[in-house]
Amino acid sequence: MASFLTVKTKVNSNLSRWWKLAAAAALLGCLIWAGLRFWPRPLSIRMTTLVPVVSFSDGRPVIAVPGRTVVAEVAKYNDELFACLMAGYLRGTSAFRDSEVMMTYRQENHRMVYSIQIRPVATDLASGLFLLYSAKARGLIADAKWQFVNASTLGGFRRQNGIFEMSYNFPVRRHFDHLTRAELIRYASRFIRFKSASDPRTWRGNVASLSPLVSAQALQLSADIVTVAEFYSLPLDFFLGIGAMENNYMNADGDLGHTTWKRRAATGDIVLKRAGGRVLVRNSSQGVWQITRETLRHTHDLYLADSRDYGRLPAALRPPKDLDLDHVDPRVLTTYAGLLFRELLDRCGGDVDTALGAYNGGLGNPNMAYAQGVRAAAKHARSVMEHAAVLSGPVAGRRFLTVR
């Protein structure tokens, strides 16, 4: 029995020794692996040298980099539909008509960012940069962060742009009239903001009052337009078209030198001249809807005589009992514009074109060229909203494009 215990003790001692040896070997192996894995070593970096090549064409130097193309990021947005509209606008400008305008996307701080990239048609560096910075100097673009890109990067930009072009040209499946109120407000706000941002008057730095609408302003105006159109049973697309045609939705006075003769001055008139028992008064127009002072006085009289329940309108859209021609709330002007359009439609027997022409030229001399301009703007607004409604959310970043 004693010998058996002695043998067992020796066996246990040998097993313990082997386990210790195995553990030591495993530890040594781990240290060797860690040393090979993390020990500092020289880095082998292959640098690509971009060497400009200078040639001459028609006696002037042409600078280019073989295998590389100049591409500039000229704008960046956080709204996909608005970015798509601005990209389409830049493609149609004379400055970039022959250039390649691409809409791309990327993630920044866990948010999707949409940028517009422009590849100038000229492969010459100097000519390309002159085009970009001339456009920036004119205010057509806000910036021009240019870089040399290889064929692979340019191909990636083109693929992303192709996704947007394909998506926003899906066949329309939901007619404008079938969009919900929330959709109408949401999509119309992008159109409104786009029209103000693409107005050439916003490029002139000396016209401080003509600044493009920001998102919140466009959304508020969109909600007001939809509300007023519902209240007066107006065709929303043509009401939007009037706002686009008149002042691209910007709250700025116009026709400052416009005047009219009257038999007698009324409260609030600015009299410029008296002759032959008549007075010459200022008749400038104001705000988004460019309603003249005389037309505004007429429309206010219509409001006072109107039997509609204006309690259904939000308080901010209700006209006051007394009209102050020099201090009309911009939101109330939308209500006046809706009432005026409603009266013109009624007096023209529902003839939209004549009513539109009368909005600009009066019932006695409707401006039919103006009416065609409003129709074009209304068609554009419908197209934007109907195509946006086809998509079930933003296109960027999705593996498959789903439609509803």
Residues 378 and 263 in one domain: yes
Q: What's the token pair of residue 129?
A: 């940069």
Residues 272 and 381 in one domain: yes
Residue 126 maps to which CATH number? 3.30.70
pLDDT, residue 221, reads 98
The last residue of one of the domains, among 167, 198, 224, is 167
Amino acid letter for position 368: M
Higher-confidence residue of 140 and 308: namely 308
pLDDT, residue 114, reads 93
* Number of domains forming the structure of the chain: 2
pLDDT, residue 110, reads 85
Residues 96 and 239 in one domain: no
Phi, psi of 128 (to 5 degrees): -65, -45
Residues 98 and 155 in one domain: yes
Query: Which pLDDT band, with edges at 50, 70 and 90, does 207 fall under?
Result: very low
pLDDT, residue 341, reads 98
The last residue of one of the domains, among 117, 137, 167, is 167
Residue 123 has pLDDT above 60, yes or no: yes
pLDDT, residue 117, reads 96
Higher-confidence residue of 345 and 1: namely 345
Instruction: Please indicate, yes or no, if residue 73 is contained in any of the structural domains.
Output: yes
pLDDT, residue 263, reads 77
pLDDT, residue 170, reads 75
pLDDT 10s digits, 2-53? 454 444 455 455 556 665 666 666 666 665 655 555 555 554 445 455 556 5
Residues 124 and 156 in one domain: yes
Across the chain, mean pLDDT equals: 83
Q: Locate tokens 């409001």: which residue?
A: 303
pLDDT 10s digits, 257-284? 777 876 777 777 787 778 877 877 777 7
3 state DSSP class of 328: coil
pLDDT, residue 333, reads 97
Instruction: Please indicate, yes or no, if residue 57 is contained in any of the structural domains.
Output: no
3 state DSSP class of 77: strand
Residue 348 has pLDDT above 70, yes or no: yes
Residues 82 and 138 in one domain: yes
Instruction: Please indicate, yes or no, if residue 48 is contained in any of the structural domains.
Output: no
Residue 334 has pLDDT above 70, yes or no: yes
Q: How many CB atoms lie within 10 A of CB 135?
A: 22
Higher-confidence residue of 48 and 227: namely 227
Give the whole-angstrom CA distance, residue 17 versus residue 60: 86
pLDDT, residue 23, reads 62
Q: Residue 106: give the domain boundaries.
A: 62-167
pLDDT, residue 404, reads 32
Query: Which pLDDT band, with edges at 50, 70 and 90, does 61 fall under?
Result: low
Provide mean pLDDT across the span 188-214.
81
pLDDT, residue 180, reads 93
The last residue of one of the domains, among 133, 167, 201, is 167
Residue 235 maps to which CATH number? 1.10.530
pLDDT, residue 177, reads 85
Give the whole-angstrom CA distance, residue 301 versus residue 314: 20
